[in-house]
Amino acid sequence: MFRLALLLLISLAVSSQAVAAVKRHNSGGGPFQEATIAYEKGDYSAAFRMFTSLAAKGDRVAQFNLAKMYREGKGVSKNYKTAVKWFGLSAEQGNALAQYHLGVAYSFGLGVVPNYEIALKWYTSSAEQGNTFAQHHLSLLYYFGNGVPQDTVYAYMWANLASADGFEMAEQLHQVLEEQMSLSQIDEARSLVKVCKDKNLIGC
């Protein structure tokens, strides 16, 4: 149990660490690229202004980047509540990274009242798009029974999927679960992994 608790603490640290602003592929220049360049140069005030304008027009990547700036206090005073607002707008448009970070916010009460059921919803949406961090957190929710009935088989399934891309924490959780499960439970979980992959992670 100590080992699993340590994994949970490490997960929180990784979830809250700063990540550089997300770049849009093939942006082709324009305001978004200018905002990204300003961010990378450390001109957070300019980046904040430009991302705010783009986010207000519905750009989901700009909304995500703006949310991170509010959460990290770059170019603006740190404000978790406003960060959640922008993560939410981006997540509603299908941004897997925003969905994951929204799940983190609801898991740990960052700007919102903790709610594991809402966290489960957003982790699942992100995990179905292949986000390994979301898959790892889903595994933890199933293991501890937070927002969902406790189920080590599903915990194993999501840990297995997350570790397939070399995510070390998911691999460690995967090993912890194997030590606690029966052979029949492991066989069932591995069957679910195959079915989930066959469905391209949708509806797992």
Residue ranges per structural domain of the chain: 1-16+120-204, 30-109
Residue listed under structure tokens 């195959």: 194
- Cβ burial, residue 125 (10 Å; 0-12/13-18/19+): buried
**What confidence tier does 70 reach under pLDDT thresholds 50, 70, 90?**
very high
pTM, to two decimals: 0.86
**What confidence tier does 170 reach under pLDDT thresholds 50, 70, 90?**
confident
Average pLDDT, the chain: 88
Q: Which CATH architecture has domain 30-109?
A: Alpha Horseshoe (1.25)
Give the ranges where the chain is alpha helix by DSSP (H). Answer: 2-16, 31-40, 44-56, 60-72, 80-92, 96-108, 116-127, 132-144, 152-163, 168-180, 183-198
Neighbours of 116 (CB within 10 A): 17
8 A C-beta contact, residue 98 and residue 87: yes
Position with higher pLDDT, 36 vs 21: 36
Long-range contacts of 180-186 (CB under 8 A, 24+ apart): 180/152, 181/152, 181/153, 181/156, 185/152, 185/153, 185/156, 186/156
**Pairwise CA distance, residues 78 & 174, whole Å:** 35
Token pair of 126, please?
């992100």
pLDDT in tens, 74-109: 999 999 999 999 999 999 999 999 999 999 999 999
What mean pLDDT is predicted for residues 170-179?
A: 89
Task: Name the 3-class secondary structure at 147.
Answer: coil
